[in-house]
Chain A
Amino acid sequence: MTARPTRRVRSGVGDIRLRRLLLQLAVVLVTVAAGVYLFGNVQRNLQQLGITPGFDFLRHPASFAIGESSIPYQATDPYGRAFLAGLVNTLRVAVLGVVLATAVGVVAGLARLSANGLVRLLASLYVELTRNTPLLLQLFFWYGAIVYTLPPASQALALPGSVFLMNRGLVLPAPRPGPGFPTAVAILGLALVAAVTAYRILLRKRLEEGRETRPGLVALGLLAAGGLAAVILPAGPALVLERPQLARFNFQGGLMLSAEFTALLLALVIYTGAFIAEVVRGGVLAVPRGQWEAARSLGLSPFLVQRLVVFPQALRIIVPPLTSQYLNLIKNSSLAMAVAFPDLLNVSSTIVNQTGRTLEMLLLVGATYLAFSLLTSLLMNLYNRSLRRGVA
């Protein structure tokens, strides 16, 4: 009885191998057949439409205007340049959005963990309200609130610090480098390096020798001294604030953020901030309570408990889901189309409407977003790895 099944098992293994091979062959065949069928349809359809596929059209003049562009662009420029202008606009929203959403999310996430009941309530209200309504609706809401409830440029709301709010968007004073700019930057750079070095050395002393060395205080003092020196030492002012002036119908000078850009940025930051808040809260909650207690019993101050024990461990839990939130924000910036902000997708869909080059533009847009996603993942993974090394 014990020796008998050997042959069957062996033939069984052979069977399984053959079956696996046949199964994969079948999958390949079905995939290829579907691909050939779909591709054939595309060819026939394109022929009917009289389109020869290719990317030559990108060199033809675009002959449409773009509402706002960070790079010089005019309607006589080629389609390729219009695409680039849209890409830069997407990057502008995405980078600013990621930075601001992180700030909002960290504050709201920690607020939800606060020992203060009212602060917890406020943060929970924010998170539950924003997470459970569509981003598109929030975008429409902010855009509508700016365009339909704010006054026109001639009666713009003046906020402190030469900031103006109106139905065309937000105008801020723009900092421009002054004559003392290079010197000030050099001084600040030196101060920063000195502060970081001092902080590290003093912190190591504090941990190794158990003496109170006040690393944070010393670092802050060095930074403050550097800042003071950067203001006093250079020959001229480092930054000149260019204040916006109301001309006849609109503002001149300063930094103009259009209503579309402002609404999109607001919507992305507030929506993603709520998700980041939950990521932060989950990360901090996942650090075992014993770690807090151990750190406290070592005599560390509440701030150092957070800084040295809780946050490094929470960060390792937070970074991977935080990365997906960043990716979401970048991808969601394509909702720009709903308020006609000329981002990557919006410009591309205009190009499609003019040229009928659907497939080519889809390929370009898809590849660009994929590249953004991969780049973000790569950067965040590098950061993640440095975190792991830093803690170990």
Chain B
Amino acid sequence: MDEPATGPALPEPAPGRPAAGQAGPAGTTVVVPPPRAPWPQRAAAWARQNLLASWYHGLLTLVALAILALAGRAVLSWALVRARWDVVTDNLLLLLVGAYPRDQLWRVVAALVLLAVLAVVSGLAWAGPARWRRAQMPVVAAWVVLVPAAMVLVLSVPRQGGAGTGYGLILTLVLAVAGITLSFPLGVLLALGRVSSLPVVRALSIAYIELVRGTPLMVVLFFSMTALPLFLPPSVRPDLVTRAAAGLVLFTAAYVAEAVRGGLQGVPRGQVEAAQALGLTGTQAVLLIILPQALRAVIPALVGQFISLFKDTSLVAVWGLLEFVGVAQSVLSNPSYLGRHVEMYAFVAAVYWVFCYGMSLASRRLERRLGVGER
């Protein structure tokens, strides 16, 4: 759905603040922060500079303060006094796991623990102390093996009649993880096809990418939900979750391809020549020299793409799948929760926000750690 032209948010401009604590190549601090004044003086200086620089800044400050105070009071008084949160607390389990069989919930817990351990180990391997760096390749291998295993573990639950498509937040996570892991290799292939010197391959890749990018995700989902079975033999009838995942993957791959292409174009020509001079074949040069550099350069764009995908999984609710937003809608259609929309949407939005903002924060840290844009 989105084309995050800017990727994750740019770093704050932070005028006047020294770039203190920037980590050097070996984890040493290169910039020593100047001695700091006691905090009341610093606060006063900040206020003078940021709030009262001139008469109209003073006025702006007053207006902004008024807006902040009014909005803050309205939100707080609503959230703490008037809002009736029972619509969320009564249905919490339903929102999180939907109609997932309650006696099978250990599968979900096991998969989540597995992914959490993987995430922590990856964080250590890339952003932790130096001696964890050696774990990078095994961790990548573990992702490749364990993520599909976790998906199978979650999805191989015995189906109950008619309730097979309503797994709440779990379905959202499954769709997002499946979308990311499957669209990434497809997108890299399309990107390589697009910059390939073979005219036929290039033309086919360009046609696919431009066709998909010119079409709304809703139309792609419309295709995968209603028309995809027409293209398969009559004996094959994928279920709705598979169709939705297929639509998300086909759509996201085109955007991943464009992001990766940017990275491929950024790899200096000399690198290819150096690889050839070393006697590497074309495939070896791409796999060992070009792709690693290209992918590192486009981490912000890729993470932005995956944040988009995570938000976009909500669109399958429109096509009748009960993921997080879908379950929320179905709870709200219950007459006993009439008019409790704002409470429910506030909760759902908060969960999405934590995931998305977390991803963009992690991407910014990784970016800094890898020194993207500095070399």
Name, among A127, A148, A320, A334, the residue most crowded by chain B CB atoms within 10 Å (CB to CB): A334
B199 in contact with A328 (CB, 8 Å): no
A118 in contact with B353 (CB, 8 Å): no
Give bound CA distance, A121 to B60, whole Å: 12
With contacts A118-B64, A134-B312, A278-B6 known, is A358 near B226, CB below 8 A? yes
Give bound CA distance, A358 to B349, whole Å: 34
Our pick among A23, A41, A48, A331 for the contact of B231 (Cβ within 8 Å) is A41
B315 in contact with A278 (CB, 8 Å): no
Number of interface residues of B (CB under 8 A): 69
Give bound CA distance, A307 to B352, whole Å: 39
A324 in contact with B3 (CB, 8 Å): yes
- A252 at interface by CB-CB < 8 Å: no
With contacts A41-B233, A44-B234 known, is A338 near B64, CB below 8 A? no
Which residues of A are found within 8 Å of B213, using beta-carbon distances? 373
B226 in contact with A352 (CB, 8 Å): yes
A119 in contact with B60 (CB, 8 Å): yes
Our pick among B214, B325, B341 for the contact of A374 (Cβ within 8 Å) is B214
Flag the segment in A77-85, A109-117, A170-178, A291-299 that touches B: A109-117
Give bound CA distance, A144 to B341, whole Å: 6
Which residues of A are found within 8 Å of B338, using beta-carbon distances? 148
A132 in contact with B219 (CB, 8 Å): no
Least CB separation from A370: chain B residue: B214
Our pick among A24, A27, A331 for the contact of B216 (Cβ within 8 Å) is A331
Q: When each residue 276-316 of chain A gets 1 if its CB lies under 8 Å from chain B and 0 otherwise, what string results? A: 00110110010000000000000000000000000000000
Flag the segment in B49-57, B86-94, B239-247 that touches A: B49-57
Give bound CA distance, A131 to B13, whole Å: 19
A137 in contact with B314 (CB, 8 Å): yes
B64 in contact with A27 (CB, 8 Å): no
Min distance, Cβ A262 to any Cβ of chain B, angstroms: 16
- B264 at interface by CB-CB < 8 Å: no
Q: When each residue 331-366 of chain A gets 1 if its CB lies under 8 Å from chain B and 0 otherwise, what string results? A: 110110110000001000100100000110010011
Min distance, Cβ B12 to any Cβ of chain A, angstroms: 8
**What is the number of contacts between chain A and chain B, taking CB atoms within 8 Å?**
194
B318 in contact with A137 (CB, 8 Å): no
- A28 at interface by CB-CB < 8 Å: yes
Give bound CA distance, A331 to B214, whole Å: 8
Least CB separation from A343: chain B residue: B218
With contacts A41-B231, A279-B6 known, is A140 near B341, CB below 8 A? yes
Least CB separation from A323: chain B residue: B5
B230 in contact with A42 (CB, 8 Å): yes
- A20 at interface by CB-CB < 8 Å: yes
- A149 at interface by CB-CB < 8 Å: yes
- A145 at interface by CB-CB < 8 Å: yes
Which residues of A are found within 8 Å of B5, using beta-carbon distances? 275, 279, 320-322, 324-325
A116 in contact with B53 (CB, 8 Å): yes
Our pick among A20, A31, A122, A335 for the contact of B64 (Cβ within 8 Å) is A122
Min distance, Cβ B244 to any Cβ of chain A, angstroms: 14
Which residues of A are found within 8 Å of B197, using beta-carbon distances? 20
Least CB separation from A115: chain B residue: B53
Least CB separation from A330: chain B residue: B216
Q: When each residue 31-54 of chain A gets 1 if its CB lies under 8 Å from chain B and 0 otherwise, what string results? A: 100000010011011101000000
Give bound CA distance, A134 to B314, whole Å: 7
B201 in contact with A24 (CB, 8 Å): yes
B348 in contact with A331 (CB, 8 Å): no
With contacts A137-B314, A279-B5, A370-B215 known, is A358 near B227, CB below 8 A? yes
A140 in contact with B345 (CB, 8 Å): yes
A335 in contact with B342 (CB, 8 Å): no
Least CB separation from B341: chain A residue: A144
Our pick among A132, A136, A358, A366 for the contact of B318 (Cβ within 8 Å) is A136
With contacts A46-B230, A331-B215 known, is A136 near B314, CB below 8 A? yes
Q: When each residue 315-359 of chain B gets 1 if its CB lies under 8 Å from chain A and 0 otherwise, what string results? A: 101100000010001001000001101100100110011001100
- In order of increasing CB-CB distance, the 9 nearest A-B pairs are A144-B341, A321-B5, A117-B50, A331-B216, A132-B356, A118-B64, A134-B311, A334-B218, A134-B314
17 A-B pairs besides A27-B201, A145-B342, A325-B5 with CB distance below 8 A are A27-B198, A45-B229, A116-B61, A117-B50, A119-B64, A132-B352, A132-B360, A133-B356, A134-B352, A137-B325, A137-B348, A275-B4, A327-B3, A328-B3, A334-B216, A358-B230, A370-B215
